[in-house]
Amino acid sequence: MRRARPPHPRALRIAVVTALLAVAVLIAQTAQARTTANLVLDVQFSTNGTISVSLPDGTPVGVTSGSPTTISAGYYNIVELGPGGCTAVPHFSLKGPGVTIFDNLLEGESTTITFFEYLDPNSTYTWSSDAFPGVIHTFVTSSTIGGTPPPSLPNGLASGDHTTVSSSSLVGSNVVSGTLTGVVSAAGKLTVELKGKPVTTLKAGRYKISVTDKSKTSGLMLQKNASGMITVAGVSFVGKRSQTVHLTAGTWSLMARPGSKVRSISVS
């Protein structure tokens, strides 16, 4: 019986190098996927009326004294989590450059709502609960920008065509594309207009939504596909309120109440 000839040393080296290159490519792809995914802040509402904010690994974000917590700047999913079942929970407030959130999970009706926000680099942000109005939690952002940038820049070039850009040049930073005006009648009818005309299509970007809510049972909510809901005015809120919202490409639904679709906006 003839024995199989051992592989030539050169062929063996080529095979080893090829395998190592394949592993390196896989590691690079995995790292890229991790860096391009949106960053996350978890906002936890508890039945005892407290609110906590943390990174996904459990690291608390925000201090009431001393050196502020430092986190990366960039594109965040700010995920509110609560008990649901119309549990009475306080309002969560997040303020800072380009960001204003004031929400309490649709008066405690929802178990999760996601806000899509851009946190400026080298900036200071604060969050608080209206159950403890005098307690302010402060955190700052670093110069590092993470998360997924918007699909396009104001000059029409894809964000992937650039290696570095200043934060002020990005759609979704401090640039506001327009103001949407919403009205909720006492009977619960919702209308939303841009420059006096009903909104049906928009370009992706940040929009200021100003709503006048006259109903005690309806409000103004937005939802993209089946993702988290953004509440501008809750169902029991009455009065005037404004909020800046980052609308990404896709179909957004406007609602007066959860599940009661009023109209769709196509964002491109």
Q: Which of 72, 116, 112, 74 lies closest to 204, judged by CA?
A: 116
Residues 6+ apart with CB under 8 A from 247: 202, 204, 205, 206, 207, 222, 224, 265, 267
The reported pLDDT for the residue numbered 19 is 58
Inform me whether the pLDDT recorded for 158 exceeds 70. no
The fold adopted by the segment(s) 161-268 is Immunoglobulin-like (2.60.40)
Q: Is residue 107 very low, low, confident or very high in pLDDT (cuts 50, 70, 90)?
A: confident
- Classify residue 151 by burial, with Cβ atoms within 10 Å: 0-12, 13-18, 19+: middle
Inform me whether the pLDDT recorded for 35 exceeds 90. no
Q: Could you give the residue ranges of the DSSP H alpha helices within the chain?
A: 9-36, 105-108
Q: How far apart are the first and last CA of the chain?
A: 70
Instruction: Report residue 145 CA to chain centroid gap.
Output: 15
| 169-174 contacts, C-beta under 8 A, 24 or more apart | 170/118, 171/204, 171/205, 171/206, 172/75, 172/118, 172/205, 172/206, 172/246, 173/98, 173/118, 173/120, 173/206, 174/97, 174/98, 174/120
- Using DSSP, state whether 50 is helix, strand or coil: coil
Q: Say which amino acid occupies 214.
A: K
Q: What is the pLDDT of residues 222-255, one digit of tens each?
A: 887 666 677 888 777 788 888 888 888 888 888 8
Return residue ranges of the chain for CATH 2.60.40.
38-148, 161-268
The fold adopted by the segment(s) 38-148 is Immunoglobulin-like (2.60.40)
Q: Between 64 and 105, whose confidence is greater?
A: 64
Q: Is residue 5 very low, low, confident or very high in pLDDT (cuts 50, 70, 90)?
A: low
